[in-house]
Structure 1
Amino acid sequence: MHEMSIAMAVVDQVAEAARAGGATAVTCVRLQVGELAGVVPDALSFSFGLACAGTVLEGAELIVESVTARARCAPCADEWAVGMPPQLSCPACGEATAELLCGRELQIAGVRWEDGAAPEPAREPISQEC
């Protein structure tokens, strides 16, 4: 299952950034996942929990935000939600020259961690909030 390799890559990247930032624990990771990325959210969540074990991310919450796939027709400039299965022919003019605008994303959109230099409640997260 490729969700485990995705989860491990996310954990590695976040753990490295957390170490560099002096974090004592990561509490939340927010991912944006396009509906055409081929990722099963439940499998990713399960894999994330396993990949976090024994790391600074242990116990961290994973928030998966789904990104709707959208396309634009080159000839008429109409935009539409692609859906599943993907509709890549323009619903307005019928042309099959669609440009995929979004929907294949798989990116870390935010991380919240605790900094060991100050008491937990008195400090804002170092990076973007989840």
Structure 2
Amino acid sequence: MHELSITQCIVDAACERAAGRTVASVRVQVGRLCAVVPDSMQFCFELITEGTLMQGARLDIDETAASAHCRGCDSDFALADSILLCSCGSADVEVISGRELRILSMEVS
């Protein structure tokens, strides 16, 4: 379960930036192509934050839809999964969104 290590990195980064202050919430952006299960991430977050400055904090996850641009027909299209193939049949595509994994914001007190 790689969600555990990803979530641990998020908690570590948030605690470091909080500089001793209590963290109330963290908002992260997760692209659909990252193979991260949001429910697993939420579960890991609750376990990892126990006994830290983030205990009781809220994890808000914004999922980003996956999209790509086809160089063959010059069109943009949505990706349902990680198969990078345009409806025109071209595999010459560039992923535009869906691979994001970043902390967007956090609320401290």
Asked if 1:57 is matched to 2:54, the reply is yes
Runs (5+) with no aligned partner, structure 2: none
Looking at secondary structure, tell me which structure has more strand per residue: 2
Runs of 4+ more than 6 Å apart? none
Q: Distance in 1 between matches of 2:2 and 2:40?
A: 9
Asked if 1:88 is matched to 2:84, the reply is yes
TM-score by length of structure 2 reads 0.93
Structure whose alpha-carbon radius of gyration is higher:
1
Q: CA deviation at 1:94?
A: 2.1
1:110 counterpart letter in structure 2: S
1:95 counterpart letter in structure 2: S
Q: CA deviation at 1:8?
A: 0.7
Q: Distance in 1 between matches of 2:54 and 2:74?
A: 44
Q: Distance in 1 between matches of 2:100 and 2:53?
A: 25
Q: How many residues align?
A: 109
Bigger relative CO (Cα 8 Å, ≥ 6 apart): 2
Q: Distance in 1 between matches of 2:47 and 2:95?
A: 33
TM-score by length of structure 1 reads 0.79
Identity of aligned residues (%): 40
Runs (5+) with no aligned partner, structure 1: 115-130
